[in-house]
Amino acid sequence: LYVLKELEVKYGNLYRQDNVILSGTHTHSGLGGYFQYTLFMITSKGYIKPSIKAIVNGIVKSIDIAHRNIKPGRIYMSKGELEESNLNRSPHSYLNNPAEERNKYKSNTDKQVTLLKFTDLDGDGMGMLSWFAVHAVSMNYTNQMVSSDNMGYASYLLEQEKNIGFLPGEGPFVAAFASSNLGDASPNIRGPFCANTGLPCDYLNSSCPIGGLKMCVALGPAGSDMFNNTKIIGENIFKRAKDLYGKARQEVRGPLHAAHQWVNMTDVTVQLNSTHTGRTCKPALGHSFAAGTTDGGGDLNFTQGAVEGDPFWDGIRDALLGAPSNETQDCHRPKPILFSTGEMTWPLPWHPSIVDVQMITIGPVAIVAIPGEMTTMSGRRIREAVKQELEAQGTFSNAEVVVAGLCNIYTHYITTYEEYQIQRYEGASTIYGPHTLSAYIQKFRGLAKAIAEGKEQELPKGPEPPFFKDSQLFSLLPAAAVDKKPINTTFGEVLEQVDPEYTVGDVASVTFVAGNPRHSGDMRDKTFVTVEKYHNSTAYWDVVHTDASWETRFHWVKNGAESNATIEWHIPLSAQAGSYRIRHFGHYKQRKGFLETVILAYEGVSDVFRVSKIT
């Protein structure tokens, strides 16, 4: 909503609620503090205004750049399968789907990559948009650095290949790797094992005989090395997309349609068959939500697959938050409710009740914007339902339906009714109850029918969600303190110097006296790090890497009121031999008088060092 308000100021009615979809890649290593419902604010120490400001400004800037570069062009579509890049992390739940339905598919995860290629009228590439179902959790829960994970690495590789001579995030070609029905799709393709014994975890509840849930950890293709796991899965996604991009020949032609509705997801009546109806529920999370997944388990003694409550935890819940109402418990069965978030409204609602459903069609391609994480079979069902509805009206033939995940607002997971009965993490996190998927299918069928009949503008708008002002939101994160430094040093001064020489494949490292990165504010057009190469012919230092580069890592370590920044350059085998240096840019806060403070910029630079090729 913040983004749309900014766009309205700039462009009037051009970019609207119905024709703008914001879809997250779902990296688990991003900024926190931007989602304005209480449950999410608690986990990020409240509402962090600089976080949402940076995100909104970045999105709006990207749309500004796209708007300035609008030109006539063509769109092509290509499809193919990608193996060895995702694994179903809840196969027991998947097996609860009807056998005749499962038999229609050869895998318990979606392997399909769907790609749109964008060119100008001369055939020169402008960008591509690719969908593939896999969680962006190759960087595991121990990671403390901002990362765009496997999807971001795929984007990085393709953009670097297409934008020769440009730094990351620059250049005309845009490679977008989007999420799809990734709810149960993990990149940790070696599967879950007990870390202390090496034996497989319990199939039903993903725990270990010794150590319980926390010992059950799924491993990626490189084992426990999260950087190489990210690199391998990202490279797989990149290579398949590059191949499909080169083969894209099917031109996408036809009219554009956009449909949008607000829906109160706590009160949808679902027509299950000719004689029976069901309904959605007020939001609630089950006990297995606290168990986490094999991609990252919880810290307490919860397990996946819990269909009964625990007297100990239920007692604590009742004492601290209040017991769920009988109505909500009955609605969510067989889920044992841990947090009845739909009945918790202090200081603000804990979960959204009103969410949006949205669909855009470009010729025969229908993009279904899902406000959550659909499991594999949930995505298949909604694709099938939307395709059927579009083609039933006769205005679409051979419709290609794409599930775009995590769009516009976040509502946790969406399992099938059958998967919900098992109550693993995904089912426990399906917050609107067992008929959530059926409700979405019903609503998206309505959008598809309206588009097929050309009546999308006649759709009821629906009840709008609340828009929380900054004054209504809380923050538990104190302002960053005044920065201090060791005696007789300056900010940006080197504490640990680089070595004089390195060989490609080595890691160059330097540590600086640093300020708190929070004092640097919005870093959209800036960087904390540059790696620079000296050119003898021009006597000029050329920036070859920034903090957006895969090859660089920026570690900030706080020691009381003082802090250090250690910068690593993982020198790639492709690096040219020559002289290099590493620079660090930042800001520090100091007192100005008794009550006032001021934020000042600083920079530091390492010694020059040589890089040589392997002989």
The ranges assigned to domains in the chain are: 2-264+351-458, 494-612
pLDDT (tens digit per residue) in 30-58: 989 998 899 999 989 999 999 999 999 99
pLDDT (tens digit per residue) in 220-247: 999 999 999 999 999 999 999 999 999 9
Catalytic residues: 186
pLDDT (tens digit per residue) in 261-288: 999 999 999 998 889 999 999 999 999 9
Mean pLDDT across the chain: 96
In which region does residue 149 sit, left (phi positive, over 0), alpha (psi from -120 to 50) or beta (all else)?
left
Instruction: Please tell me the pTM assigned to this model.
Output: 0.96
CA distances from 535 to 445, 542, 567, 576, 578 (A): 61, 7, 22, 11, 8
Q: Is the peptide bond before 187 cis (omega within 30 degrees of 0)?
A: no
Do residues 525 and 514 touch, judged by C-beta distance below 8 A? no
**What's the confidence (pLDDT) of residue 469?**
87
User: Check: CATH 2.60.40.2300 for 494-612?
Assistant: yes
How far apart, in whole angstroms, are the C-alpha atoms of residue 195 and residue 226?
A: 15
Could you say which DSSP state residue 411 is in?
A: -
**What's the confidence (pLDDT) of residue 299?**
85
At which residue do the structure tokens 């790797």 appear?
177
**What's the confidence (pLDDT) of residue 1?**
84
pLDDT (tens digit per residue) in 370-398: 999 999 999 999 999 999 999 998 899 99
Asked whether residue 454 carries a pLDDT value surpassing 90, the answer given is yes
In this prediction, residues 104-115 reach a mean pLDDT of 98
Asked whether residue 470 carries a pLDDT value surpassing 90, the answer given is no
Look at residues 567, 604, 564, 582 and name the one whose alpha carbon lies nearest to residue 483.
564
Could you say which DSSP state residue 288 is in?
A: G
The percentage of residues in the chain with a pLDDT greater than 90, rounded to a whole number, is 92
- Residue-wise DSSP of 498-534: PPSEEETT-EEEEEEEE--GGGG---TT--SEEEEEE
Q: Which residues contact 426 (CB under 8 A, 6 or more apart)?
A: 90, 93, 183, 184, 373, 375, 413, 415, 419
Asked whether residue 168 carries a pLDDT value surpassing 90, the answer given is yes
In this prediction, residues 333-350 reach a mean pLDDT of 97
How far apart, in whole angstroms, are the C-alpha atoms of residue 234 and residue 135?
A: 11
**What's the confidence (pLDDT) of residue 557?**
96
pLDDT (tens digit per residue) in 244-258: 999 999 999 999 999
User: Taking the C-alpha atoms of 569, 571, 574 and 578 in order, what is their torsion angle to the nearest 10 degrees?
Assistant: 90
pLDDT (tens digit per residue) in 518-550: 999 878 789 999 999 999 988 999 999 999 999
**What's the confidence (pLDDT) of residue 521?**
86
**What's the confidence (pLDDT) of residue 525?**
83
**What's the confidence (pLDDT) of residue 594?**
82
**What's the confidence (pLDDT) of residue 136?**
98
Asked whether residue 106 carries a pLDDT value surpassing 90, the answer given is yes
